[in-house]
Structure 1
Amino acid sequence: MDHLLELRGLTVAYRTEEGRLPAVRGVDLCVDAGEVVGIAGESGCGKSTLASTVLRLQPKDALVAGEVLVSGRDVLTMGWGDLRALRWAEAAIVFQGALHSLNPVRRVETQIAEPIRLHEPDLPVADVGARVGELLEQVGLPAARSRVYPHQLSGGQRQRVMIAMALACRPQLIIADEPTTALDVMVQAQILDLISGLVRDLGVGLMIISHDLSVLADVCDRVAVMYAGRVVECGSADQVFSSPAHPYAQALSRAFPRVGDAAARYAPAGLAGDPPDPHDLPPGCSFAPRCARMIDACTEAEPPLLQVGGRQAACIRVGEA
């Protein structure tokens, strides 16, 4: 049986004045129906590039290799007509920053209805309007709010509209790129509850991207941690957050405060140094210059993802005590 989404050896690089800039390096990942897979990592690790490449939204200067299979079909090789039919109807994306993604001079109903009209041109106008109302109610907004403009909605309401748009053509796969970044904690919790409920009730597959581990801990079944364009750890959410194996995943976990845990509150948080320059990646393991457990062998070759304790981790010392 095909996965809803399967990435095989995905590599993405950009042409720049300084030369080829690698953004995603050999990522293998899958998402199944009814599953939430999270992508975690610092800014610049390749998370958003990964998300945009799933629907072939990368800029023209991008150099892409590997396979991106949506329901068994490779997005990277399909013709424009097939790609246009796949977007919205089979896979949709929720971008971060709803205020920048929504058209400020068009009513909400018009923007939600647009993909429906494109993919179901024979659907009567009344039925399109009814679908828009149903979608808004599905994400917790009154159908009457369809007549307003984006600036007349709060940040959380605009994000709900973006989710309604993503669901407009009943896709089986949804990509959510930082869907709660601009929201306060209370509204963020509401949106996460909404996303979890939709995955459970509709049986869709969801890939959610965030640098906020608390967001991923709340909703994900599995989590992949990225560093310098590679997945360095992948496993169940419980494994990655409670007992991370890769030194970078451990540093991310320590940087996340735990309410009521005095040791976590007083322990040093964060990670010294900065991610490597993609134009000048260090030899061997790209995390080695920031790793307290580095040994000489770490600089000899980039470690592959190894199976350990029911998850994968790209570290030659991961099996040590």
Structure 2
Amino acid sequence: MTTTPLLRVRDLRVTYGSGSDAVPAVRGVDLDLAAGEKLGIAGESGCGKSTLALALLRLLPPAATVEGRVLLNGEDVLTMRWGRLRAVRWAGASLVFQGAMHSLNAVHRIGDQIAEPVLLHHRTTPARARERVATLLRQVGLPADRARAYPHELSGGQRQRVMIAMALACDPQLIIADEPTTALDVMIQAQILRLIGQLVAEQRIGLVMISHDLAVLADTCDRLAVMYAGRVVEDGPARAVHTRARHPYGRALAAAFPRVGDPASRRAPRGLPGDPPDPAALPGGCAFRPRCPVPVAACADREPALAPVGDERHRVACVVTAAEEGGPLC
């Protein structure tokens, strides 16, 4: 018996501008996410991760053209009427932005900010909304009396907990977390990640978590998708992608972080030479070819599609890997 995924993304494309000025930011992404599952999306800055996250809830500016399908419980977010879309945001799916201080309103108490979506979507009384706020704050490890605090009166970790409480306010089925721990120190980052994992498991929430750090995603998520130049170039079980990446880019990302207790990697971390390509001037063939350590002539022909390597759960878009597996080069 096949169950419908909580989230199904098919051939998602996002372009900024139009005509000769059009810049493709996301180029044909396919993703599936089941209820209670955690999907990590990794890649360098500029690879399209945040654009993808915003496109899932139609939060991009008018200059962006979005094509494809984003099915949330079988309903296409991209074709929803405005009233239905407003109902889905917060109640069906919510977003945790990076940089909590910039996302919270500096002149409103945090309790009022958490209560706002509760009052809007649940149409409850202010007293019940305050009770809900107290419950949410306790759920994310904050005292209920912090509801009267202003954002500047909280630490960075506390503000990020408030953002998570806001995301949970209307009992969504899906949470999209865009770099939720970037501005936090390592100890607080670990606490926040552990909290997110516990809440997802307890409430059977689907999680899409975006980060440039493969190690963080491997510790937090069930599956991992690696993006480069607006496309997914590798996906599969998180641990397998992190420790046994088959795409040269995935291997470079994993090797860029020095390993604790390994003097060689600390003294000479293996970074990736060059810079990500300009989305407005992508090279022909495989977009990673100019930085790839193992290019072959076939890499210039066309961009390879994702294909299974080892088993059906691990897929890679690389002609070299395909050749190693005994498949066609393109």
**How would you bin the TM-score normalised by the shorter chain?**
over 0.9
Q: Residue in 2 aligned with 1:239?
A: 240
> What's the offset of the Cα at 1:263?
4.4
Q: Residue in 2 aligned with 1:85?
A: 87
1:1-321 correspondence to structure 2 within 5 Å: 1-15=3-17, 19-121=21-123, 123-310=124-311, 311-319=314-322, 320=324
Structure 1 unaligned segments of length 5 or more: list them: none
SS of structure 1 residue aligned to 2:198: helix
> What's the offset of the Cα at 1:107?
0.4
Check whether the contact 2:111–2:147 (CA below 8 A) recurs between aligned residues: yes
Amino acid at match of 2:56: V
> What's the offset of the Cα at 1:265?
3.1
- Structure-2-length-normalised TM-score: 0.95
Amino acid at match of 2:318: C
> What's the offset of the Cα at 1:157?
0.2
Over the residues paired in the alignment, what is the CA RMSD in angstroms? 1.3
SS of structure 2 residue aligned to 1:269: coil
Structure 2 unaligned segments of length 5 or more: list them: 326-330
Amino acid at match of 1:139: V
- Aligned-partner Cα distance in 2 for 1:110–1:124: 13
Amino acid at match of 2:37: E
- Structure-1-length-normalised TM-score: 0.97
- Aligned-partner Cα distance in 1 for 2:277–2:63: 22
State how many pairs are aligned: 320
Q: Residue in 1 aligned with 2:328?
A: none
SS of structure 2 residue aligned to 1:297: helix
Check whether the contact 2:97–2:179 (CA below 8 A) recurs between aligned residues: yes
- Aligned-partner Cα distance in 1 for 2:26–2:276: 14
Amino acid at match of 2:260: V
> What's the offset of the Cα at 1:266?
4.5
Check whether the contact 2:215–2:242 (CA below 8 A) recurs between aligned residues: no
SS of structure 2 residue aligned to 1:12: strand
Q: Deviations over 1:237-264 (max 9, x none)?
A: 1110110000000000110221123443
Check whether the contact 2:173–2:205 (CA below 8 A) recurs between aligned residues: yes
Amino acid at match of 1:74: D
> What's the offset of the Cα at 1:214?
2.5
Q: Larger % of helix: which?
A: 2
SS of structure 1 residue aligned to 2:321: coil
> What's the offset of the Cα at 1:145?
0.3
